[in-house]
Amino acid sequence: MGAVLTSARATAAATALNPSREDAAAAFQACLHRLASLEWADIPASARSRGAMVLADNLAAAFSAVAEPEVAAMRAFTMAHAESGSVSVFSPGRPRTSQRDAAALNALTMGWNELDEGYRKAVCHGGLYVLPALLACAEATGASAQDVLRALILGYETVARVARAWRFPDLKLHPHALLMPVGAAAGLGFLMRLPADQLVSAVAGATALGMAGPFNQAVQGSLIRNAWAAHGANAGLLAVQHARAGIGGLASTPFDVYVTGLGCATTDLTAFADDGEWAVESGYQKMNACCQYAHSAIEAVQALIARDPSIKGGAGVTGIRVDAHPLALRLDNRAPATTLGAKFSLPHAVAAAVVHGDGGVQSFDAASLDDPRVAGLRGLIEIVPFAEQRPAPHDRPATVTISTHAGTVSETVWSARGGPDRPFGEAEVWAKVAALCEPVAPQAAQVLQALALAAGEGALTGAGSAKSDQAAIWASEQDAFVRRQANGLSSDPATADLVGAVSDPVIGPADGLNASWANWLDALFASPALR
């Protein structure tokens, strides 16, 4: 009997990973029908507040990149030739343009500095994929903040489950190219409350609008990789418009794209099951301004420096060995020519962490590319496969071994901080958000925190209060920010109105969420310098 049960389980597992085209279509369709039926009240408080944090994290990432030369040049070119419109571009002065141009510019900026969050259970940046198109449409149509957060959470759920169902472990295709249209279409579909079958048509159609974006473009530092988000945001907008006109995909289209067309070896039907999980609660956040696959190695370097401060700077280092997990092994560019290439170079990330003691912005800026200390250490680094493989969350480990004239030290990090298993404390994350937002929208962090409080009805979640070395960098800037705002949450009337709606015990948080997203943006950008 035991052998029969074991055989039955094996058969069921094999069927779940190798279903028929029809079964895959039915599972995809059922998942979207289920999600379309969910209202704000059906989403638990923990997922609602986490969704608001995803919004804050991605807006902060966008603000961090507004001064990057290529971003500024693209923004100037677009605004010089743009259609008129009323949708905000997340940059100084809050210029306005059309939905399509704003979505594209904000998508380009949001993913530029590799500081946006991501989904830990698959290769997917759900917030980046959903938000640019969603926020553009919400501002243009007067949608409420609550409707925006509902659409974000459900759109994130959709694209994350698609990413789990069809995995490409060899990293031939970059997820931004493949999944950006899917997340954009899903978020818009939920915001517009498309009928369930029309939602299926839009999201399925968006899977066929993905781009042939090789992952190695990121490793090689080709900046076209950053443009995939911009093109994908507009593809998602068009997918929804097409579906509303009767021009959409079939429930079987995702299978046809990923399996028939792109050769994905498996289809995991369990990804579409009603398992009680919320994808936004399985995300990770970043303090290191680079690909998450390198974070465990950076943390290992930081631990070694904490044990032996003489390592920092690299002057006495004679050798470095990195035992890297499979995804990190592909980050093998030893001479990155662009900041993007540096962010996707494991040798650069480790070398810069030795020099600077962290994975902050200065470790991956333009000056770091030609820093002789970093370049010298990159040449010393030996990268080998990590011998042991464990399931998530210990599937992205690193061991860093550093040799100096005084001896050899080694450190293993099984899982980098920032994921569900080792989350950053709330204070750390809000300090990061404030520091990144301050140059463009000084009061944005306050407004976004008020939104998160309203979304979770005051029940913000998060574990741990100990601050990492890197978080202290953000915290030092936040200290100055807090001192300037010592007279309360805000001295600005526009912000105070919304914060009051959130905190007033009579009005309650629902009134703040019922305000339009455009009004929240007014408060977010409110500053004498930006009016």
* Confidence check: pLDDT of 503 > 60: no
Q: For position 481, what pLDDT does the model report?
A: 37
* Confidence check: pLDDT of 471 > 60: no
Under 8 Å between Cβ of 384 and 321: yes
* Confidence check: pLDDT of 455 > 80: yes
Domains of the chain: 292-413 (3.30.1330.120), 426-525 (no CATH)
pLDDT bracket for residue 491 (50, 70, 90): very low
* Residue 385 neighbours by CB distance under 10 Å: 11
d(CA 440, CA 291): 24
Q: For position 168, what pLDDT does the model report?
A: 92
* Confidence check: pLDDT of 270 > 50: yes
Under 8 Å between Cβ of 301 and 354: yes
Query: In this predicted structure, which of 10-24, 352-366, 481-495 has the lowest mean pLDDT?
Result: 481-495
pLDDT digit string (tens) for 86-140? 999 999 999 999 999 999 999 999 999 999 999 999 999 999 999 999 999 999 9
How do 381-385 and 317-324 pair as beta strands? parallel
* Confidence check: pLDDT of 463 > 50: no
Q: For position 83, what pLDDT does the model report?
A: 84
pLDDT bracket for residue 169 (50, 70, 90): confident
Q: Which two tokens stand for residue 6?
A: 């074991």
pLDDT digit string (tens) for 289-345? 999 999 999 999 999 999 999 999 999 999 999 999 999 999 999 999 999 999 999
**Residue environment code for 51-66, b if the CB has 16+ CB neighbours within 10 A, otherwise e:** bbbbbbbbbbbbbbbb
Is 142 exposed, middle or buried, given 0-12, 13-18 or 19+ CB atoms closer than 10 A? exposed
pLDDT digit string (tens) for 421-444? 999 999 999 999 999 999 999 999
Q: Output the average pLDDT for the chain.
A: 89
Q: For position 317, what pLDDT does the model report?
A: 98
Q: What torsion, rounded to 10 degrees, do the Cα atoms 14, 20, 24, 30 define? A: -100
Task: Please name the amino acid found at residue 474.
Answer: W
Mean pLDDT of the 262-282 span: 97
* CA neighbor of 378 nearest in space, from 346, 340, 407, 330: 346
Model's pTM, two decimal places? Answer: 0.89
Q: Which of 345-359, 464-478, 489-503, 510-524 has the highest mean pLDDT?
A: 345-359
